[in-house]
Amino acid sequence: MRIISGTLRGLRLKSPKSMNIRPTSDRVKESVFNIINSNIADSFVLDLFSGTGSLGIECLSRGAYSCTFVDNSKESISILKENLNKARMLQKSDIIFSDVISALNKLAVKRDRFDIIFMDPPYLKKLIIPALETISKSEILEEDGIIIVEHDSKDVIPDKVGNLTKYREKQYSSTKISFFKWSE
């Protein structure tokens, strides 16, 4: 696992020893970042189900202002902290050790807003729709912000969840990436 572009290009990130954490493949990550690259500079990023932090750290490398990482696994948080320290990006990061729904509710109370939200939950666990519903209700996504959801191709995700609309979808083998934005 490595950082693809930006100030940290080529930096190798620590990967998990166990199979409990499934990092985004470099091929999928490169494709996603080619699509969203123009949205990253000076953005506020939220990396849900962050695992090793690969997606959020990639954004920081490409000029994001800050990234908030959320995960409820002690192993993930430990690896994430090591990777942020190695990347020297701790000062641009917030780490929340919590389940995603609780974290989203806390961020909403604080009135935090994000330009880019990544979601990479464990596959086929029915975590995507509740998280999207919570994001829609909480209004933590900026008006022109985007949500990028990595999921198994067997996961059925509706085209509309609350005030969020799927506007693009890409498939890479058994992985799908769904892109959401605000709708009226």
- Name 141's bridge partners: 114
- In angstroms, the CA 119 to CA 100 distance is 10
Chain center to CA of 8 = 18
pLDDT for position 17: 72
Task: Give the other-Cβ count within 10 Å of 151's Cβ.
Answer: 22
β-bridge pairing 114-119 and 93-97: unpaired
Domains of the chain: 44-182 (3.40.50.150)
Separation in Å, CA 143 to CA 129, 138, 163, 175: 20, 13, 11, 27
pLDDT for position 16: 77
pLDDT for position 27: 82
Note the pTM of the prediction, 2 decimals.
Answer: 0.95
pLDDT digits (tens, 9 = 90+) for 4-14: 999 999 999 99
**Eight-class DSSP state of 46:** E
Average pLDDT in the chain: 93
Q: Which residues contact 54 (CB under 8 A, 6 or more apart)?
A: 1, 13, 23, 24, 29, 83
pLDDT for position 127: 96
pLDDT for position 89: 97
pLDDT for position 19: 54
pLDDT tens series, the chain, 184 aa:
889 999 999 999 998 776 555 567 778 889 999 999 999 999 999 999 999 999 999 999 999 999 999 999 999 999 999 999 999 999 999 999 999 999 999 999 999 999 999 999 998 999 999 999 999 999 899 999 999 999 999 998 999 999 999 999 999 989 999 999 998 6
One-letter amino acid at 84 equals L
